[in-house]
Amino acid sequence: MKRMSRLFSVMLLVALGAGNVLAQSYPNKPVRLVLTMLGGSMDISARMIAQKLTETWKQPVLVENRPGAGGNIGASVVARSEPDGYTFLISTTGIAISPSIYRKLPFDPMKDLVPVSQIYSLVFAMVVNPNVPVKTVAELVALAKLQPGRLNYGSTGAGGTPHLATELFKSLTGTDIAQVPYKALPQMEIALITNEVQVIFTGLQGAQPMVKSGKMRALAVTGETRSPLMPDVPTMVEAGVQGYELPNWIGLFAPAGTSPAIVAKMHAELVRILAMPEIKERIINMGNKVVGSTPEEFAASYKADVAKFARIIKDARIPLQD
């Protein structure tokens, strides 16, 4: 028994040593960052990170946009990739939503990917068309209850963050507001401006200039604290919606089976880059909050977010999507 224990210890040390040697020589060829979206703060941030990694590693770090199917196309590409440390995924919270919204997935989001770090969290603004006669969340709730089903809200489709953000609001406030889905965020925002819909949840970066120009009116933000982009706008909790907590982030993942030493090296480089003043300032100015969590912290929060979104989807009785 002791001999087997010693043998196991030796094998473990050899494996760890091999992993460390691999990490020291890594990378020796181009690294690929697969994104689940086109454009937006995720694309901008990913390209800034890729540039800094390229400068440090002296190897090209390439950004590849693979949008579609709620982020599942890009995620499945990475999930099926070799776990050699040369392919990573940068995804939205869509990856935590997918297990509860899709009937069938080509990969297992919990088993086929390894969390590396939550890069940053996003804050959404709840905005209304300026013709809607409300200036606070409480007034919107009162109006919605006075006219159940008469107000419309925009979404980017079933299971999208704007959809679930509004359904969570409806659940916590007991209001009846009808969904009108759009293909993408710009169309949803235009629909609000033209009063085709009366309320939406959207990113601060896009909402801020519209609010300043008077084309939208901001009622609340979804973060735990007020945003420096809209310091006069209360959080949802401050506005009276107790228990409102919406996970919304951009995270870095690796294929399952990737060497822990490589994961640790990528995480260390990411944290170093996120601490750079010019990178941090750019991310904050887009309405986001820099996080840079450890792989262990991100794994725990990711698991919790999957469970939270499952509850939101179940409570809203959102049917499974094909």
Domains in the chain, please, with CATH? 29-121+248-315 (3.40.190.150), 124-221 (3.40.190.10)
Instruction: Note whether 248 and 161 are within 8 A (CB).
Output: yes
What pLDDT is stored for residue 8 in this prediction?
A: 47
pLDDT of residue 70: 85
Give pTM, 2 decimals: 0.88
Residue 104: exposed, middle, or buried by beta-carbon count in 10 A (0-12, 13-18, 19+)? Answer: exposed
Helix spans in the chain (H)? 2-25, 40-57, 72-79, 94-101, 137-146, 161-173, 185-193, 204-212, 260-274, 277-285, 295-315
pLDDT tens track for 258-315: 999 999 999 999 999 999 999 999 999 999 999 999 999 999 999 999 999 999 999 9
Residue-level pLDDT at 20: 62
Cross-strand pairs, 249: 121
Residues of the chain with pLDDT under 70: 1-23
Asked if residue 61 lies in contact with residue 53, where contact means CB atoms within 8 angstroms, the answer is yes
pLDDT tens, residue by residue, 107-140: 999 999 999 999 999 999 999 999 999 999 999 9
| CB 79, CB 136: distance < 8 Å | no
Position 163 scores a pLDDT of 96
CA angle 305/309/311 to nearest 5° reads 120
Report the distance separating Cα 162 and Cα 298, nearest Å: 23
The type of residue at 101 is: I
